[in-house]
Chains A and B, each alone.
Chain A
Amino acid sequence: MRENEIITLSHGAGGKIARELINDYIKKFFNCPELNKLEDGAIIKTNSKKAVLTTDSFVIYPIFFSGGDIGKLSICGTVNDLSAMGAKPLYLTCGFILEEGFLLSDFKKILQSMKKTAKEADIKIVAGDTKVVPKSKGDGIYINTTGYGELLDEKMCISAYNVKPGDSVIITGNIGDHEIAILKEREGLKFDAKIKSDCAPLNQLIKELITAKIKIKAMRDPTRGGVAGVLNEIAQSSRVDILIDENSLPVNKVVLSACSIMGFEPLYLANEGKMIIILESEDAQRALKVIRKNKYGRNARIIGKVIKGKGLVKLKTKTGGIRILLQPQGEQLPRIC
């Protein structure tokens, strides 16, 4: 197959052409014994009675952006979901839905990116599927990844239902980078910014925390809906209030600037390489030290604490007032008012 060829319906039809796509592209990048057998399923070795399973689908547009692409995102998203449960990510499956006409050279770039990210995350892609939809019935490429992981410490109970008043809230770094990096690539807004997506696998960072026996209560990666979304979910699950200090939020000045222009709030912007960690307050300083040693956690901060309440997230503003951080209500839209 030549690089300038495109995906056709035959590539998804299960015949010779489809097999060629798997052999020449998918196996080439995701090379591993389980996958290479190309059976209907992969037999995997497991080490524990309790495991974590998760799935996520990726439909991002544009597919290539500053700091990453849909492929890298599809690995990081699922790796981070497994990590947020306290699991070591072990295996991934990967399903592609390709649109007729999608460039094979773009497909190759995405596979390369997935290979690189999977290697960094030390995770194997063991099974997959490829379908092709007719032109205009897709958006280039959609990816689904399902992940399997095993709990690093079976004695820990990491859950959004587990949070108590007195616990501390940590964010592992700057918020809002990913969403602003994506927005600048979208046509309507026409701005340029020195910002990259923060897309990154956090499994190593989380492993370091668990190895250090940090008493973690809950973790979530603040993707769509941002930090505000994730904190609202946790507050409601545990029936507590969470109080965040606006002065402590780590935000890149470029992100702040974009927010001023468009009328956005950083706490509602998506992140793809950050984790919210709620933990026993006595371990907060120690946790910060561990996180900051990792390259993806250099700008980690304690941003708030859990207090008694009924499920609200509150923000202490720069001027000392308190306001409610509501659950996100869909996309933020650029406004003039």
Chain B
Amino acid sequence: MCLGVPAKIKKIEGDFAIADFDGITRKISIQLVPDIKVNDFCLVHAGFAIEKISKDYAQEVKGYLKEIFKGNTDE
């Protein structure tokens, strides 16, 4: 548990927002991330945004690897 999917906030309507999951749009609740803004990215679980994430979500994974591989090239 638990499925969490990244989405971009397209429009805010009070406690809710329209989120875009790479072509799928759905109304979600933003009560758990009240300071989120339009064009921000968030992680969505069961119709609720649970955390704000950076736009470079995928880039960050590359970042971890760079560090690990750098530290291990001499071994």
Contact = CB atoms under 8 A, between A and B. Distances in A.
- A touches B in complex, CB < 8 A: yes
Interface of A: 190-195, 252-254, 256-258, 260-261, 263, 335-337
A263 B3 contact: yes
Contacts of B5: 257, 260-261
A261 B22 CA distance: 11
Given A336-B45, A336-B46, A261 B23 contact: no
Contacts of B2: 336-337
A186 to B, nearest CB: 13
Interface string B1-15: 111010000000000
A337 B26 contact: no
Contacts of B23: 193-195, 252-254, 257
> Which of A190, A191, A194, A195 has the most CB atoms of chain B within a 10 A radius of its CB?
A191
Nearest to B23: A254
Contacts of A256: 22
A110 B44 CA distance: 39
14 contacts: A190-B26, A191-B24, A192-B25, A194-B23, A253-B22, A256-B22, A257-B21, A257-B23, A258-B24, A260-B5, A260-B21, A261-B44, A263-B3, A337-B3
A254 B21 CA distance: 8
Contact of B22 (A257, A263, A336): A257
A329 B34 CA distance: 40
Nearest to A335: B3
Interface in B34-62: 44-46
Contacts of A260: 3, 5, 21
Given A257-B23, A336-B3, 19 more contacts: A190-B26, A190-B27, A192-B26, A193-B24, A193-B25, A194-B23, A253-B22, A253-B23, A254-B22, A257-B22, A260-B3, A261-B3, A261-B21, A261-B26, A263-B3, A336-B1, A336-B46, A337-B1, A337-B3
Contacts of A192: 24-26
Contacts of B3: 260-261, 263, 335-337
Nearest to A192: B25
Closest 3 CB pairs of A and B: A254-B23, A257-B22, A337-B1
A26 to B, nearest CB: 39
B22 to A, nearest CB: 4
Contacts of B44: 261
Question: Which of B23, B25, B26 has the most chain A CB within a 10 Å cutoff?
Answer: B23
Nearest to A184: B24
A258 B22 CA distance: 9
Contacts of A254: 22-24
A67 to B, nearest CB: 15
Q: Which of B1, B3, B46 has the most CB atoms of chain A within a 10 A radius of its CB?
A: B3
B65 to A, nearest CB: 14
Given A336-B45, A336-B46, A261 B1 contact: no
